[in-house]
Amino acid sequence: MSSTASLPDATPPLSDAGAPPTPEAWAAAFAVALPYDHFLDRHATPDQKERWDAFHARVELSDAQKALLGGFVRRMPVLVLAGAWCGDCVNQCPIFAHFASASPAIDLRLLDRDALPEIAAHLKVCGGQRVPVAAFFSEDFTPILFYGDRTLSAYRAASTQLGSSCPTGAVPPPSDAIAAVVADWLNQFERVHHILRLSARLRQKHGD
């Protein structure tokens, strides 16, 4: 090739590429969000809270799962976009409360779907504002993972009974289905923890 051959033009910037929230914006949203019990006190009707409490009572973590969660060492802020009225939230968010109880490293907050539309806009699934969606962050609110609105096990179960897009939560799933969703979500929490624990940036910061 001739040394005088022209190089291809640089790729032009994409129009409408937008800009995701900064770590500071995520931190501000997290500050507005509420701990699990406070979220229910603020947003749930008595009937809705009864459904959340009933499902919470049905969730059981094995000793191995508790030990895994108890071994987390990096602070893990988890911001969950949710709606107290949504059956998918009824059937999943109490799982996160169990995880947080088993792991002091998990800092769990719930944000009502309509509280901060400018943040919710970045947590859509398939173009829609579905809930729940969990946003996982490092301790300085660098995004790690966005995951929702149902796990693979829940979608497999739903595909066999193509009903409403969001159940009411009045009829809880069977115990084996709950255990499968617990395992699905625990895989995501564990994966994020490994990312945080093995991050060269964070290891340098903490000297470990």
Tell me the per-residue pLDDT of 41-92, one tens digit each, with 9 for 90 and over. Answer: 999 999 999 999 999 999 999 999 999 999 999 999 999 999 999 999 999 9
The domain limits of the chain are: 23-206
Whole-number pLDDT of residue 11: 76
CATH topology of domain 23-206: Glutaredoxin (3.40.30)
With CA atoms as reference, report the closest residue to 103 among 200, 8, 196, 178.
196
Banded model confidence at residue 146, pLDDT cuts 50, 70, 90: very high
pTM above 0.85, yes or no: yes
Question: pLDDT, tens digit, for every residue of 11-50?
Answer: 787 778 778 999 999 999 999 999 999 999 999 999 999 9
